[in-house]
């Protein structure tokens, strides 16, 4: 049985990734990282944007996937990149508009690939065919949110082997409030909910938001402090916004995900849903979880830099 190392969001921090791979026992052979015992990495997505070595990160990851020493799912940044660069034939423009906010988020990638247009094209084609979730015998992996009904929808409608993010798939999934839109959006970006009238939040980029990100994996959701990401100190005791899913996520197979820019040292809040994103791109940590056969979820299996 294969053993796995699941690795959180990298965002162009290739040097940290290489140090983590070495710490996990992977060795670079003919330019490709492999584990002498046949362990495999599973990447949770968000390889690009923000960090200093985006090209290097992509080469490390794709080489490993192609050589069979890793698997990868799509992050919202890879999805956004495909949308940013794919023209919307029916409506004009692109599937992701070229506004200041969108360009800012993608700028480091554009800059670092400026002199390597062919290479960028080939990575974009690779992004298009990344799976949006992966199921292993003893665990599942997704970038943001494992919702069984979204996963069922994706199994029936999203076909990485038949082109993945094709123009027609993007057209369908860009129709706001369609089932396609919701499945893709929430799987890659997580569930959000409108804040009560008059309550606003400021996100990490300084944008004022009238919606908040739900901590879908939280083990208690008695108030906004427990169930909402980046909840302002003054609103922590507020009740959860109306319409929030207050159920506690449990599943036979644990799911590993990234996306949420958690801070501090990795911890397990819910043994069924384990976040591996600890903000390497904001002076945080790059985190892996070692998953061996016959497994009990335990925080001693976090390995990080």
- CB-nearer residue toward Mn ion: 5 or 9: 9
Q: Is 259 in the site for Mn ion (CB under 5 A)?
A: yes
CB of 261 to Mn ion, least distance (A): 8
- Pick the closest to residue 71 from 143, 146, 169 (CA basis): 143
Integer-rounded Cα radius of gyration of the chain:
19
CB of 277 to Mn ion, least distance (A): 7
Among 16, 69, 76, 279, binds Mn ion (CB under 5 A): 76
- CB-nearer residue toward Mn ion: 34 or 143: 143
- CB-nearer residue toward Mn ion: 46 or 186: 46
The DSSP element (H or E) to which 117 belongs, if any, is helix 117-128
Helix or strand or coil: residue 194? strand
Q: Are 82 and 165 in contact (CB under 8 A)?
A: yes
DSSP secondary structure string for all residues of 207-255 = -EESEEEB-TT-S--SSHHHHBTT--GGGTTSPPPTT---PPP--SS-E
CB of 76 to Mn ion, least distance (A): 4
- CB-nearer residue toward Mn ion: 5 or 46: 46
- CB-nearer residue toward Mn ion: 39 or 277: 277
- Residues of this chain, 194-213, that bind Mn ion according to CB under 5 A: none
- Pick the closest to residue 256 from 265, 246, 264, 266 (CA basis): 266
* Piece of the chain touching Mn ion by CB under 5 A; list 74-82, 212-220, 237-245, 264-272: 74-82
Q: Are 254 and 272 in contact (CB under 8 A)?
A: yes
Q: Is 46 in the site for Mn ion (CB under 5 A)?
A: yes
By CB under 5 A, name the binding residues for Mn ion. 46, 75-76, 259
């Amino acid at each position: 049985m294969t053993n796995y190392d699941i690795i959180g969001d990298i965002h162009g921090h290739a040097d940290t990734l290489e140090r983590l791979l070495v710490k996990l026992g992977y060795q670079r052979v003919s330019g490709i990282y492999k584990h002498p015992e046949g362990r495999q990495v599973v990447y949770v997505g968000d390889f690009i944007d923000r960090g200093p070595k985006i090209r290097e990160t992509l080469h490390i990851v794709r080489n490993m996937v192609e050589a069979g020493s890793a698997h990868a799912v799509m992050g919202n940044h890879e999805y956004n990149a495909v949308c940013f660069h794919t023209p919307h034939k029916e409506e004009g423009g692109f599937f992701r508009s070229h506004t200041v906010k969108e360009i800012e988020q993608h700028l480091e990638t554009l800059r670092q690939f400026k002199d390597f247009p062919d290479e960028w094209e080939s990575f974009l084609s690779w992004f298009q065919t990344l799976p949006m979730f992966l199921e292993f015998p003893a665990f599942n992996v997704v970038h943001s949110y494992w919702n069984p009904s979204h996963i069922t929808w994706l199994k029936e409608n999203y076909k990485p082997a038949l082109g993945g993010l094709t123009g027609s798939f993007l057209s369908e999934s860009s129709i706001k409030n369609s089932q396609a839109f919701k499945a893709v959006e929430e799987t890659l970006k997580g569930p959000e909910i409108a804040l009560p009238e008059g309550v606003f939040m400021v996100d990490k980029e300084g944008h004022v938001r009238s919606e908040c990100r739900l901590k879908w994996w939280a083990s208690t959701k008695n108030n906004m402090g427990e169930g909402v990401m980046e909840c302002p100190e003054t609103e922590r005791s507020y009740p959860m916004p109306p319409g929030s899913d207050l159920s506690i996520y449990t599943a036979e197979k644990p799911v590993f995900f990234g996306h949420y820019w958690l801070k501090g040292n990795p911890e397990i809040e819910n043994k069924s849903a384990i976040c591996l994103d600890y903000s390497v791109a904001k002076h945080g940590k790059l985190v892996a979880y070692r998953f061996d056969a016959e497994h009990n979820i335990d925080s001693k299996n976090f390995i990080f830099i």
